[in-house]
Amino acid sequence: MPKQPSPQWSRTPPSDAQIAGFLARVADQPFSYREVGATKGGPPPGYNFDDNAVQLGRGAEVFARGCAALRAWRMFPAPWTRIRPADAPIREGQTVAMLARAFGLWWLSSCRIVYVVDETTPVRRYGFAYGTLPAHVEQGEELFSIEWRADDTVWYRVLAFSRPRYWPVRLAKPLARNLQRKFVRDSKAAMVLAVSTPA
């Protein structure tokens, strides 16, 4: 059996060619966890669970800006996280590389969109969930959504279940959890900024 691709790390950001090669190697990988789609319901046992939200504003225009920012992957906070390809479409089955700088290194991990949300009830909601592939430092699923609620407020929400998969992350689990919390804080700030300054 051929060896599965693993997450990649380097001291400098990988080149576009290196990222393209990585994406080609992970294109046929299955999800790395059994509970695919579980962000639609209650969190599965055995994982860390996080559910965070921030109000973006009120009304139809804010909702539209939030959806546009999500489609442009602007919830990934620069400069320490990036999605490649940067213009990856939001569609079920789309595979992306997530690049993050942590512990003095650049880490390249793979994810795939599990499902897309576009609902009108009980609240107007748009978003998507993506799940980890074997070439990822973590194992689990994350849902990003924009919610326009009955009181006219608009919220950005990040819901995730995860656990360390790659051995360095397992060894440094408390540091990894701190990094996840930093991502959520920075992601919420990035979306607030994106809505106030649309591209």
Torsion over CA: 185, 191, 193, 196 (sign): negative
Q: Which domains are delineated in the chain?
A: 8-196 (3.30.530.20)
Among the listed residues 144, 150, 180, 151, the one whose alpha carbon sits nearest the alpha carbon of residue 66: 144
Residues 79, 80, 82: CA angle, nearest 5 degrees: 85
pLDDT in tens, 149-194: 999 999 999 999 999 876 555 545 566 678 889 999 999 999 999 9
Cα–Cα dist 130/115, whole Å: 7
pLDDT in tens, 39-51: 999 889 999 999 9
Residues 53, 100, 179: CA angle, nearest 5 degrees: 50
* pTM for this predicted structure: 0.92
For residue 42, the tally of other CB atoms under 10 A from its CB is 9
Cα–Cα dist 185/175, whole Å: 15
pLDDT in tens, 57-74: 999 999 999 999 999 999
Q: What is the H or E stretch that residue 151 is in? A: none
Spatial contact of 146 and 123, defined as CB atoms under 8 Å apart: no
User: Which parts of the chain fold into alpha helices (H)?
Assistant: 16-26, 59-71, 167-171, 173-196
